[in-house]
Structure 1
Amino acid sequence: MRKGVVVTIEIPGGTQEQYEETTRLIQGAEWFPPQGFIAHASGPDGSGGWRITDFFDSEENFLAFVEKARPMFEQSGMPPVMPNFQPAVNVITG
């Protein structure tokens, strides 16, 4: 079994355009994929914002990723957000 953390980020008012620009910048970074990265999913949250769900092997590796990506978030206009961490008992990827 693969364990880790589920990271959920709610971005009120976040747009698909902001998300896609941020993703383009991050995927172009020399350090992508970040250490501990397992999987990522995102989409509209149903109330006019954007939701991101990431799976990392640890909270520490996710936070290290955020520090590297912070300038990219700012460049694309993403507002500062607080991630919500939950333990993942099992992560299955294809």
Structure 2
Amino acid sequence: MAIIATFEFPGVSRAQYEEAVDRLTGGAGLNGPADWPVRGLIVHVAGPTSDGGWHVTDVWESREAFEHFAAVLMPILQEVGIPTAPPLIREVHHVVR
């Protein structure tokens, strides 16, 4: 079953987010789900918050795919100085592509 993973990163800058993406993709950039180092991403949405932080919402094909990704992501976030609070995970009822 697909899941939604929502991250809130208070105080995180666009530069930190982009550095994390560069490390995740080996500097190739983020043009589509195939650019992620782990298969199973359906959609990734990110942007600044009104209080100067960063917000990320991902939809993954399964919890297992997300957990595999999290094992790759968390060390990168720590290296970049992004706090690693657990995301809010919800089951998906409906995805429109």
Deviation at 1:55, TM superposition (A): 0.6
Check if 1:53 corresponds to 2:57.
Answer: yes
Aligned length: 90
Rounded to whole Å, the distance in 1 between the matches of 2:95 and 2:50 is 25
Deviation at 1:46, TM superposition (A): 1.2
Q: State the Cα deviation string for residues 50-73 of structure 1 (Å, max 9, x = none).
A: 100001011222121111222221
Q: Is the 8 A contact 2:74 2:84 kept in 1?
A: no
Show structure 2 runs of 5+ residues with no match. Answer: 28-34
In structure 2, the residue matched to 1:79 is 83
**Considering only aligned residues, what root-mean-square deviation do their CA atoms show, in Å?**
1.9
- Equivalent AA in structure 2 for residue 37 of structure 1: L
Show structure 1 runs of 5+ residues with no match. Answer: none
Deviation at 1:37, TM superposition (A): 1.2
Give TM-score, length-normalised by structure 1: 0.83
Rounded to whole Å, the distance in 1 between the matches of 2:14 and 2:37 is 21
Determine helix, strand or coil for the equivalent of 1:92.
coil
Higher relative contact order (CA 8 A, sep 6+): 1
